[in-house]
Chains A and B, each alone.
Chain A
Amino acid sequence: MIALSGVSKRFANDVEALRDLSFTVADGEFVSLLGPSGCGKSTALRIAAGLLTPDTGRVHYTKEKPEIGFVFQEPTLMPWADALTNARLPLDLKRVPRSDANARAAAALARVGLKGFEQAYPRELSGGMKMRVSLARALAAQPKLLLLDEPFAALDEITRNSLGDDLLRLWKEDGLTILFVTHSVSESSYLSRRVLVMTPRPGRIVEDIALPFGRDSRLAQATIQAQRVISDALNIAMAA
């Protein structure tokens, strides 16, 4: 689906965010990009989305650039617009006819469990519900590739787990390809098929861990084992 090869990025303030970063994500994969805070994960995700251009290296897509959905750490909603209008934003920008766009946005809201909240304004919604609107907005344009930048980091554990399960369901239902940036070992061990472990800044990938099947719940034996493997790799990465 997408490949980054030899990507480096240095910002104007001379912070070197990424150095020689390479990885691929195959069609239909759920890949976590795991690393400590400030290791350039978000920068890598923005480059993958085409929102930033790398100094060196390239981003390849298997075919033409796929339809991309992006979810930020904050819900990043328009406070002046209700949930339906927020979820409709990608379709409005693509000039999809209003009635069609409304139907698709409403369907996306229903899929993240927000049926009946179409007319609610962001200020009327809880943190978890706002994040669901944000997820619905990303889904509304029916993306092939979904990029998430620590989307659940600001939520409480119960909400986070419930959103994580929803994300897994959506991934399975839609055959999405997901690249999921996180600093949570437990989140990556349960949600993803593969974990890419990054070093502190300048970020590069030191470990590419394929996780086994059988991680059916957060407390399954296979999940706990995966956590240990990922944790060890992260410790090595931190020392590197």
Chain B
Amino acid sequence: MKRILDIAMPLLVAVLVLGVWEWAVAHWQVPVYVLPGPSAIARAFADNFASLMGSLFSTLTVTVEAFLAACILGIATAIAFAQSRLLERTLYPYAVILQVTPVVAIAPLILIWVGFERINLALVIIATIVAFFPILAGATLGLKSADFNLVDLTRLYGASGVQTLWRVRLPTALPYLLSGMKTAGGLALIGAVVAEFVAGSGTATGLAWRIVESGNRLEIATLFAALGLLAFTGVLIFAALSLLEWLLLRRWHESALRAP
């Protein structure tokens, strides 16, 4: 019953909002270039389905590539930090600086350096920078959270650093890392969108560019369709990472044991 309510109530709200929206737009005869009704947006979505899917694919590719790159770089850096306190103290401040500097401000530089002829690479780099930090932070904290006695035990049995990392430190870090990955997944999408905005029309072909283009042409219904797709993509990424988290932690971690 509770599960049905969990799904039914938000759905009911959606139907109500869409209904009121449709009615209000018709009633006050709001021009479509200001606010199209849901039916107009659905029509725009259907009319532009192929090209919107192409744009979705383009943005999704950048997002996924950036997310994977951020995972690899973040975990590798965290492992390097775990091996050497000195390295961590030396480099962590720069990771923080990279994190707090607004990526919109760095994006033009990266576009110039990488070059517009390799626009996809530039987009991936920008999105990677945005997604990198939560993974680094999560993995660093996680690797440090290993039970000292358990680590001592591996030393007692003559384990190598790699063995201790693989058998004890990485599994301990997994819940922290997955939490960081959930944040990073959303950030990778935001990074991809910001990067497309900065890159501008004519080069990028993703959803963000479609939003800019539709805005310029006052095709507000198409803009809404692209916006809806972006939101849907964000939810999809979050759901996929939540599923991954559940699959990996369900047998042993408190957080997954209490999840529905």
Contacts and interface: CB of A to CB of B under 8 A. Distances in A.
Interface string B147-173: 101101111111100010001100100
Contacts of B167: 78, 89, 92-93
Interface residues of B, number: 20
B95 interface: no
Given A49-B156, A70-B156, A123-B252, A93 B149 contact: no
A78 B150 contact: yes
B217 interface: no
Contacts of A123: 252, 257
Contacts, number: 50
Nearest to A149: B149
Contacts of B153: 70, 72, 76, 89
B85 interface: no
Contact of B154 (A72, A80, A93): A93
A50 B152 CA distance: 10
A68 interface: yes
Interface in B161-190: 163, 167-168, 171, 174
A90 interface: yes
Contacts of B152: 46, 51, 70
Contacts of B168: 78
Given A68-B156, A90-B157, A79 B253 contact: yes
A90 to B, nearest CB: 5
A80 B156 contact: no
Interface in A45-104: 46, 49-51, 68, 70, 72, 74, 76, 78-81, 89-90, 92-94
A141 interface: yes
Contacts of A68: 156
Contacts of A92: 167
B-side binding surface: helix, strand, loop or mixed?
Answer: helix
Contacts of B155: 51
A74 B252 contact: no
A78 B157 contact: no
A78 B172 CA distance: 8
A80 B159 contact: no
Contacts of B2: none
A94 B28 CA distance: 77
A117 interface: no
Interface in A117-143: 121-123, 141
Contact of B157 (A46, A72, A74, A94): A94
A74 B149 CA distance: 9
Nearest to A141: B157
B158 A80 contact: no
Contact of B252 (A79, A90, A94): A79
A78 B170 CA distance: 12
B251 interface: yes
A78 B154 CA distance: 12
Scoring B163, B167, B252 by chain A CB atoms within 10 A of each residue's CB, the highest score goes to: B252
A76 B252 contact: no
Contacts of A74: 149
Contacts of B157: 89-90, 93-94, 141
28 contacts: A46-B152, A49-B156, A50-B156, A51-B152, A51-B155, A51-B156, A68-B156, A70-B153, A70-B156, A74-B149, A76-B147, A76-B150, A78-B150, A78-B167, A78-B168, A78-B171, A79-B252, A80-B251, A81-B252, A89-B153, A92-B167, A93-B157, A93-B167, A94-B157, A94-B158, A121-B252, A123-B252, A141-B157
Q: Which 4 interchain pairs have the tightest Cβ spacing?
A: A93-B157, A93-B159, A76-B149, A80-B252
